[in-house]
Structure 1
Amino acid sequence: MRFATQHFGNTMLAMLRESSSKAEDLTSKMSTGRRVQRASDDPIASVRLLLLESDTSMLTRYQTNIDTLSVRLQKNETHLDGMLDTVMSAHESLLAAADGSRSAADLNALAGPLLTRLDNLKQAANAKDGDGDYLFSGTQTDTAPIAYDPAALAGSRYSYAGNGELQQVVIGHGVMQTANVTVEHLVDAMNKLDMAVAAMKDLEVDPSDPAVRGILTAALDSLKTNGINALSAKLSDLGGTQNTLSLMKENHSAQVVANEQASDLVGGLDFAEAMVQLNNYMTATKGSYAIYARMNELSLFDVI
């Protein structure tokens, strides 16, 4: 009788511990709202949840890349827009100098502002980002893209010291986006404008001289083609790129939401069902305690 009572007591204690453990586990799941907290809860669901988590993490990285790239392209756009304004202003002044009605003194007077615009264009093309890297030198970000040799002859003082290689950023599954812009096309316009300024600075310049007019015309053509048109095209491309980035980010955000919803379906907890289970565990545990307590009160005399 003593052995049977002890065995019964051990069995009851084991059952109580198991019920309490299940109740605690269920309470923990209810506090997090997650049905699957470990692989043993549901191996298949755990694998699916890991895949969803990995995909969401990757999408988040893409969104971060897009935000960083968007800021950089905005900086590029600001500098390119400034260059375009400078080139258009220089083109307008050069048109005035080449209209055939100007005197030598007029050309001398126009040369100074044109030289200032040329210097401004060089500074804008050699702009740096917050980390001190040059924006428009391709992948040679430690090298100023527009080099200037004051000892060279007018028309050959400016050269492109960067490269034409592209910096690529991953913004989606298998999707790359160019992060940089190059300005090598400005070199020809700058050299031809430099030649025009040199001719216009000459106190003896003859505005009607075919050679002088040829220099001014060449500068006008290059400013139009390699300056205004080229810069406008790059600005248009940047606008299109920003639209693409916005669309990609919206798609990623939608996919993240979809992943969260799928995660809730796979690993989320049904609170109504959980409450029923918890009540059952609590009722069973309470009943087991009552039975165990009553059995401990029994003695051999109770059954005689």
Structure 2
Amino acid sequence: MRISSNQYQSVVLLAMQNSSAGMAELLQKMSSGKSMLAPSENPIASVRLLRLQREEASLSQYRDNIGALKSKLSQNESLLDGIVSDLNNTRDILVAAANQPAPEDLKAMAAPLASLRDSLLFAANTKDSEGRYLFSGSAVNNASIQVDASQPVGNRYSFNGNTDRQQVTVGEGVTQPSNVTLESMPALLNQLDKAIATLQSPALNGNDPAVGATVRATMDSVDSALSKVSGSISELGGAQNVLQTLDGNHNSLSLANQQSMLELGSLDYGTAFMNMNQLSMALQASQKAYGKVSQLTLFDAI
């Protein structure tokens, strides 16, 4: 079979172009560290990589949500701890008042009780850094407790939020409440307001049964509030433990996904160097053969 010079040149040039293209592709893979430059090179591995990348993005979002949620729950817990401290101080004063001290001492207890009442109100109406009320449920733009000074003593405080829980997604199908509410606090503040008004009365008589009844009723309200707030603190602590465990699970799964992604999408540099050497040798051989053959003429055969 005879082959013309043009045909031979086309075949050899095509072989050299293929070798050069293969080398360029390998160099691109080696520079990027990826085993595939296009999904068509390995469709099955590409689909698996896409699934792993989507799952990794979800895990990253879940972990971000957990981090923000843990910070918010910790803030709520600190505020509730402060409320518990104020409630304990309030109870100590009320216990002293229930022991029927001298009238002057009994009247003097009204001032610290008023300060503690205001401190409890301030804590219940705390805002976060974005100006949203922490203990108002989903009504974050409303103060948790509203004060109407025009109302009589015992009816000035009312709950201005709602009891909705703000749910945060922290896993596949897993949500965690990010807030607690203080809907029971107005009842305590109203009862405390009555006790303060009683102790501030000019006609205060420590032996009056009505005074003792007011003090004991206020103590009962404080005990009830302590129980509810302490329960909320326990709930927050348990939630943070769950989040810590869940975050650890997400981290382990993320590490496994990253390992799988490396195995599927990373380039084997050893194999790549061997292939590069083979392509380089093939290109050099084609170039040498082309150079030798192109110098031949029919006169060489005579």
TM normalised by structure 1 equals 0.96
**2:11 corresponding residue in structure 1:** 11
Preserved contact between residue 104 and residue 204 of structure 1 (Cα < 8 Å) = no
Shift of 1:303: 2.5
The aligned runs of 1:118-137 (5 Å cut-off) are: 118-137=117-136
**1:266 corresponding residue in structure 2:** 264
**2:235 corresponding residue in structure 1:** 237
- Structure 1 runs of 4+ with >4 Å offset: none
The answer to whether structure 1 residue 246 and structure 2 residue 244 are counterparts is yes
5+ residue gaps, structure 1, are none
**2:92 corresponding residue in structure 1:** 92
The aligned runs of 1:134-283 (5 Å cut-off) are: 134-226=133-225, 228-283=226-281
Shift of 1:31: 2.3
Distance 2:207 2:292 in 1: 123
The answer to whether structure 1 residue 67 and structure 2 residue 75 are counterparts is no
Distance 2:286 2:247 in 1: 57
AA partner of residue 152 (structure 2): L
AA partner of residue 182 (structure 1): T
**1:56 corresponding residue in structure 2:** 56
Shift of 1:2: 11
Shift of 1:75: 1.5
**1:300 corresponding residue in structure 2:** 298
Distance 1:160 1:37 in 2: 61
Distance 1:246 1:296 in 2: 74
Distance 2:257 2:25 in 1: 26
Distance 1:108 1:151 in 2: 24
**1:36 corresponding residue in structure 2:** 36
Preserved contact between residue 104 and residue 203 of structure 1 (Cα < 8 Å) = no
**2:27 corresponding residue in structure 1:** 27
AA partner of residue 145 (structure 1): S
Shift of 1:3: 7.0
Preserved contact between residue 126 and residue 135 of structure 1 (Cα < 8 Å) = yes
Greater CA drift, 133-142 or 290-299:
290-299
AA partner of residue 197 (structure 1): I
Shift of 1:207: 1.3
AA partner of residue 25 (structure 2): D
Distance 1:303 1:264 in 2: 58
**1:114 corresponding residue in structure 2:** 113
Distance 1:288 1:250 in 2: 57
Shift of 1:73: 1.2
Distance 1:99 1:37 in 2: 84
AA partner of residue 79 (structure 1): L
Shift of 1:236: 1.3
Preserved contact between residue 16 and residue 285 of structure 1 (Cα < 8 Å) = yes
Preserved contact between residue 36 and residue 45 of structure 1 (Cα < 8 Å) = no
Shift of 1:269: 2.2
Distance 2:291 2:123 in 1: 88
Preserved contact between residue 66 and residue 171 of structure 1 (Cα < 8 Å) = yes
Shift of 1:302: 2.3
The one-character-per-residue Cα deviations of 1:121-169 (angstroms, maximum 9, x if unpaired) are: 1011000011100000000000001011111111111110000001000
Q: CA RMSD in A?
A: 1.5
Preserved contact between residue 35 and residue 269 of structure 1 (Cα < 8 Å) = yes
AA partner of residue 78 (structure 1): S
Identity of aligned residues (%): 37
AA partner of residue 302 (structure 1): D
Distance 1:121 1:289 in 2: 89
TM normalised by structure 2 equals 0.96
Shift of 1:120: 0.8
The one-character-per-residue Cα deviations of 1:46-86 (angstroms, maximum 9, x if unpaired) are: 00000000000000000111111111112111211111111
Preserved contact between residue 105 and residue 203 of structure 1 (Cα < 8 Å) = no
Greater CA drift, 294-303 or 198-207:
294-303
Distance 2:280 2:112 in 1: 89
